[in-house]
Amino acid sequence: MNNFSCELITAYIGLGSNLEAPVTQINSARLAINQIDGVKELAFSSLYHSLPMGPQDQPDYVNAVMAITTSLGPLALLGGLQAIENAQGRVRKGERWGARTLDLDILLYGNTELDLPDLKVPHSGLAERSFVLYPLYEIAPDLFIPNKAALADLVAKCPLDGLRRLD
């Protein structure tokens, strides 16, 4: 798979943090994503407070969703996002849903469906996670999730589960 696409693709990135000043982590990640060659920001959601998934003995999260256009292929974009995570202190312990300084996920990459060892698009948990659906709906209410449903229908079926927008 090429590192660069011939056309500009609209992609959506989920951002989350619950360690080391989460709001600052999210804002720094937004700036860093905008510095990736071949990436341009289209929209950025409000910040949202959410309860942790998995182990509950960790701080609550701050989440957002960013819409971008990119000329990068999906794996090259993933590499750029992982470099940002690492630069902001992300430690990968193999623990699922553990606390982290920064988590950047490719939620959607155009209408592409991928099932690779390192990347699944649309993101596998997208349709059930309020902390992804509500910020995504805020910036792209008319979106259709490939092989899923209209975003508005997914949001309507998804309880808030403690999610609230930060002011």
Residues forming the active site: 90, 100, 103, 105
> Residue 114 class from Cβ within 10 Å (0-12 exposed, 13-18 middle, 19+ buried)?
middle
CB atoms within 10 A of CB 133: 24
Q: What is the CA radius of gyration of the chain?
A: 15
Amino acid letter, 78: L
- In the block, which residue shows the tokens 């975003």? 151
User: What are the structure tokens assigned to 4, written together?
Assistant: 């660069």
